[in-house]
Amino acid sequence: MTAIAVLGSTNMDLVAYVPKAPRLGETVTGREFRTVPGGKGANQAVAAARSGGRVTMIGAVGTDEFGIRLRAALRSAGVATEGLRTVEGASGTAHITVDDEGGNSIIVIPGANARVTGLEADDEARIAAADTLLLQLEVPLSAVTAAAAAARAHGVRTVLTPAPVQPLPSALLAATDLLVPNEHEAAALTGLTDPRQAAEALLQDVPEVVITLGAAGVLYAARGRGAITVAAPAVRAVDTTAAGDTFVGALAVALGEGRPVREALAWACGAAALSVQRPGAQESMPPRTEIDAASSPAEDGPA
Ligand code: ADP
């Protein structure tokens, strides 16, 4: 079983479903309210565990009731939570309004995630024991950079999802093996809207890049080896929340198991395609048996 460490965020998503979002000063009556465990870090951890990885989560929850539920959600997905601190105060929350057109607006309050400013005792050992470290940018850059450096020192592959997108410090890029932006993040990082050109530019900083292209699949590029594309299976998407996190979690497992890149990309696209056919974030992520059953030979495009 491939071992995966995740350093990142845990959020409780507080989702209000409304016919139409309220304007400033307006009050509207909504249809439904749900609380759903989320956060990019936790989402990737759950995706990797469902995909068949042995996963440990490093991060923080608060002393509120959300903290208890967020930890329990990870545990029930099979994720080890010894590295998930409980810090005084509120857990991270995302306040999401979804209207009848599917449009949304979101307020994220980092809460406990903001207190993840560096590595603590045993975190380096947790990272060193992994084959792969998954990182995103919903906890402070100081912790992300320290974790990447620890991974590099121990020969652990680092996979970085640059979201929410922001300028990346050179120390972080220098310790990143695989960067996985979506097409919007790739454009924001490089100023280039063409994914091939963006990938080419990003390869100046990191050895491997995957740009996710939504329903179009993914573009993979490695220094000195050209680019390949893998199409996403054609499915009817009902909710693409956490599609990227599902893809990254599954990809980390497939690569950690030593599967060839093209095969790993196709398998991870299969996992993400299953997730978009169901509502929700973590609850929409398919188990390994389902990913295997759905995966068929990739429809590849040449470079
Ligand atoms: P993010 O969720 O981070 O914005 P994308 O929208 O690029 O990222 O989606 C990530 C991956 O999820 C895609 O590369 C693709 O494999 C899969 N995916 C997303 N939307 C669809 C869709 N409509 N049909 C099939 N697969 C999809």
268 Cβ closer than 6 Å to some ligand 1 atom = no
Q: What would the pLDDT profile of 121-169 be if each residue is shown by its tens digit?
A: 999 999 999 999 999 999 999 999 999 999 999 999 999 999 999 999 9
Alpha helix locations (H) across 54-194?
65-76, 123-128, 141-153, 170-174, 183-190
- Of ligand 1's listed atoms, the one at least distance from the Cα of 237 is 23
Does residue 240 line the site of ligand 1, with CB under 6 A?
Answer: yes
Indicate the pTM of the whole model: 0.95
Cα(26) to ligand 1 centroid in Å equals 34
Q: Kindly state the DSSP code that residue 176 receives in the 8-state scheme.
A: -
State the virtual CA torsion across 142, 66, 29, 279 in degrees, nearest 10: 80
* Tens-place pLDDT, residues 72-87: 999 999 999 999 999 9
Amino acid 104: pLDDT: 86
> What residues of the chain score a pLDDT lower than 50?
298-299, 303
Task: Give the residue extent of every domain in the chain.
Answer: 3-302
Question: How far away, in angstroms, is 16 Cα from ligand 1 center?
Answer: 24
- Ligand 1 atom nearest to CA at 218: 14
CB distance 215 to 231 below 8 Å: no
Known active-site residue 245: yes
Residue among 230, 280, 249, 293 at smallest CA distance from 34: 280
Task: Give the phi and the psi of residue 153 in degrees, each rounded to 5.
Answer: -65, -25
- Residue 239 C-alpha to ligand 1 middle, in angstroms? 10
Q: Which of 13, 245, 292, 300 is catalytic?
A: 245
Nearest to 16 by CA among 29, 4, 5: 29
In short, whether 21's Cβ falls inside 6 Å of ligand 1 is no
CATH number of 3-302: 3.40.1190.20
